[in-house]
Amino acid sequence: MALDHPARALNSLGLPKAPADTRVVVAMSGGVDSSVVAAVLAEEGYDVVGVTLQLYDHGAALAKKGACCAGRDIHDARRVAEEMGFPHYVLDYENVFRDAVIDEFADSYLAGATPVPCIRCNERVKFKDLLETARELEADCMATGHYIQRKLGPAGPELHSAADSARDQSYFLFSTTPEQLSYLRFPLGHLASKADTRALAAKYGLSVADKPDSQDICFVPDGDYAAVIEKLRPEAASPGEIVDMEGTALGTHNGVIHYTIGQRRGLGLGGLADPLYVVKLDPDTRQVVVGPKEALSTRTIPVREINWLGDEPFTSRPEWHMGVKIRSTRPPREAIIRPISDTEAEVELLTPEAGVSPGQACVFYAPEGSRIHGGGWIWRGA
């Protein structure tokens, strides 16, 4: 008669295996965060496999130290793998990245939106294609250096903000699905500060311990979005008029791609008694519409492509009272979310917000605690 065996204790990744029997694919960007994740897991005895994605031609994309996944970063990731003694692979994802991220970024910008390509990259490349590659490598899970927490709740894995609010990356990861969340791990999310991460890098003697953080979109390493858009879409620099909210021409511009909602400086409109702000971009008429600051205030935001991470169905209630973020750098604001369908909603801000733009994310946060309930995309001016 077979005997019942006690349940095997879970390892630090929450899996019922010994670390040596647990294969982990670590998504390595070449920066200090993902390098520390790989080093910690390797030291704990896990079967670590490092994978770095080459997302674009780093020679043609104005490679710059500090830009994610450029040539230097691939070299740095490979060096960390050598230092810690685990295999490392570089995968060519240029075509996927161009089709899934760069082309949409350019088209969204031309349509007058303010896209957030880092979210699309996580959604369509890292947590989709790379995750599938990890499964093909027979990994038990995939780990990344993102500052966010995965916690087990009554209904399964939950997404929570990082312990360090200054480093929290939940805004960029709201579209992570429950299925992906069951496979992903975020070992840095509980750390109190980036200083703790760098201390770990120094402890392991990693060559990237003092490497500066990347500040820009990886394929726009100098921050000049307009130059990249113009290269991808030469027609984007067509001149047009700067008009007020009544349609009166106030000046001219050399392409709507040079402007963003809420912009005040660089309009080239001198001699005005009161400052004017960009309140709308109309790519069809090639007009940049300007107005007073109060014209930027938005209370109602239409949201679509919603990824819902709550325990109850999204449409099970007529409204949800939550916090929402419409910019990664601002804290959540109180809001009422009214579902229209499983993937669409109207979001009412209790306090109007300035500079809301189509193309930005609207991320849902629990009214108390650190849990993220998903989010969606702002798709037109309110």
Q: What is the pTM of this model?
A: 0.88
Active site residue 362: no
Neighbours of 368 (CB within 10 A): 7
Q: Distance between CA 227 and CA 239 in Å, rounded? A: 15
3-state SS class at 322: strand
Residue of 69, 121, 141, 362 with catalytic role: 121
Q: Distance between CA 262 and CA 325 in Å, rounded? A: 17
88: CB partners within 8 A, 6+ apart: 28, 49, 50, 51, 52, 77, 78, 81, 82
18 and 11 Cβ atoms separated by less than 8 Å: yes
- Comparing 274 with 53, the larger pLDDT belongs to 53
pLDDT band at 113 (very low <50, low <70, confident <90, very high): confident
Active site residue 218: yes
Kindly report the average pLDDT of the chain as a whole number. 89
Over the stretch 33-88, which tens digit does the pLDDT of each residue have?
999 999 999 999 999 999 999 887 644 444 444 444 457 889 999 999 999 999 99
Burial grade of 313 (CB within 10 A; 0-12, 13-18, 19 or more): exposed
59: CB partners within 8 A, 6+ apart: 71
Q: Where do the domains of the chain lie, and which CATH numbers do they carry?
A: 22-145+187-203 (3.40.50.620), 238-291 (2.30.30.280), 297-378 (2.40.30.10)
Q: Which of 59-63, 211-215, 357-361 has the lowest mean pLDDT?
A: 59-63
